[in-house]
Amino acid sequence: MSARNPSDNDPRIEQPGASDREIQSVHAILLREKNEPAEGYSPMPLLLTFFVCAMFIGVAIYFVNNLGGFSPLAYDERYTLEMGEAAARGGGAKAAVDPIAQGKKLFAICATCHQAAGTGVPGAYPPLAGSEWANGSEERVIRILLHGLTGELKVHGQTYNGNMPAFGPGGGYNWSDDKIAAVLTYVRQEWGNTGGPISAEQVTAIRTKGAAGRTKPWTQPELEAIP
Ligand code: HEC
């Protein structure tokens, strides 16, 4: 490093760590030591190959265990493997559905208002346990579920005035007749209730004949006019 400028030795100026020539010679070495570009493919690293294979195997195992035996019925939310096996043996898959077990699952939505023990919330949501409506006329309770209920309603001598949502087609929940029948069957035998089961056929009949064309929620006087 020979000083060519007076400033090269000026202690007030920060001096560079290397001269241009030194930098160039280091770069030349680096360039020389780089790999020559070669033609063809470089194989996938072995470890990555194993990893990808392991992923495929993992997914395959998951599918076999969780895809309900690849049965088209597996997309039915009530489907169980046992039902698939029963169907494969020739038994009807439907026969294996327990409406009370299904209704209990569906009731989780009702429980947000009516509470898990069917007690309701005083002043807001009427009880289903021991309720004359829940246990009473099938014609009325099916209508309540299909289209909802609004306005003043007396349950156990207490007056409520809320909105029970519609669960039938066209309502926010859009439940099938099967589901409505199952949840009512569950409600009508739980917590000491004695209402007796309700079939999907009864729900279908009221939806398509008894109350065909109905879209708005029922009121107590309207329901009382129905036997
Ligand atoms: C968003 C809250 C809410 C949900 C969810 C709800 N209900 Fe209701 N339900 C009510 C209200 C409020 C009333 C009273 C309506 C009125 O005052 O006119 C009622 C009334 C009823 C009645 C008649 C009165 C009685 O106590 O027996 C039945 C039966 C009933 N609901 C069943 C159900 C079932 C079964 C479900 C689930 C499928 C359900 N409800 C989901 C709020 C709800």
User: How many angstroms does the Cα of residue 134 sit away from the middle of ligand 1?
Assistant: 9
128 lines ligand 1 (CB under 6 A): yes
Give a three-class secondary structure readout of the chain: CCCCCHHHHCCCCCCCCCCHHHHHHHHHHHHHHCCCCCCCCCCCCHHHHHHHHHHHHHHHHHHHHHCHHHCHHHHCCCCCHHHHHHHHCCCCCHHHCCHHHHHHHHHHHHHHHHCCCCCCECCCECCCCCCHHHHCCHHHHHHHHHHCEEEEEEECCEEEEEEECCCCCCCCCCCCHHHHHHHHHHHCCCCCCCCCCCCHHHHHHHHHHHCCCCCCCECHHHHHCCC
Structure tokens at 49: 């190959």
In this prediction, residue 181 carries a pLDDT of 95
Residues 6+ apart with CB under 8 A from 61: none
129 lines ligand 1 (CB under 6 A): no
User: How many angstroms does the Cα of residue 125 sit away from the middle of ligand 1?
Assistant: 7
Residue type at 190 in one-letter notation: E
Q: What phi and psi, each to the nearest 5 degrees, are found at residue 190?
A: -95, 160
User: How many angstroms does the Cα of residue 126 sit away from the middle of ligand 1?
Assistant: 7
Could you tell me the fold of the domain covering 99-224? Cytochrome Bc1 Complex; Chain D, domain 2 (1.10.760)
133 lines ligand 1 (CB under 6 A): yes
140 and 132 Cβ atoms separated by less than 8 Å: no
Q: Which atom of ligand 1 is nearest to the CA of 160?
A: 17
For a mutational test of ligand 1's pocket, the pick from 104, 112, 113, i.e. the residue with the most ligand atoms closer than 8 A to its C-beta, is: 113
Strand partners, 152: 161
User: How many angstroms does the Cα of residue 26 sit away from the middle of ligand 1?
Assistant: 83
Q: Which atom of ligand 1 is nearest to the CA of 132?
A: 27
- Rounded CA gap, 113 and 152, in Å? 17
pLDDT digits (tens, 9 = 90+) for 89-134: 665 545 557 888 899 999 999 999 999 999 999 999 999 999 999 9
Please provide the size of the chain in residues. Answer: 227
In this prediction, residue 223 carries a pLDDT of 92
181 lines ligand 1 (CB under 6 A): no
- Rounded CA gap, 101 and 94, in Å? 14
In this prediction, residue 159 carries a pLDDT of 93
**Domain ranges within the chain, ordered by starting residue:** 46-96, 99-224
128 and 110 Cβ atoms separated by less than 8 Å: yes
In this prediction, residue 145 carries a pLDDT of 95
Give the pLDDT of the chain (227 residues) as one tens digit per residue: 455 666 777 778 777 778 888 889 888 888 887 777 777 777 778 889 999 999 999 999 988 887 766 776 666 666 666 666 776 666 554 555 788 889 999 999 999 999 999 999 999 999 999 999 999 999 999 999 999 999 999 999 999 999 999 999 887 889 999 999 999 999 999 999 999 999 999 999 999 988 888 889 999 999 999 87
